[in-house]
Amino acid sequence: MQLKPNDFSRAVGRALRRAARRARETARKQGTPIYVLKDGKVVAIKP
């Protein structure tokens, strides 16, 4: 089944948000920082 370009973009966006949510949950459980880009710099954030 092929998705239209717009449908594909939405599916990718949902998948990325889901992956980010799971990464935050895992970091919270393990007590590890999450690295994000903030003001052009990579910073560690403790969840």
Per-residue pLDDT of the chain (47 residues; tens, 9 = 90+): 676 778 888 999 999 999 999 999 999 999 999 999 999 999 999 87
| pTM (whole model) above 0.75 | no
User: How many structural domains are present in the chain?
Assistant: 1
Q: Which domain holds residue 15?
A: 5-45
Buried b (16+ CB within 10 A) or exposed e, 11-44: eeeeeeeeeeeeeeeebeeeeeeeeeeeeeeeee
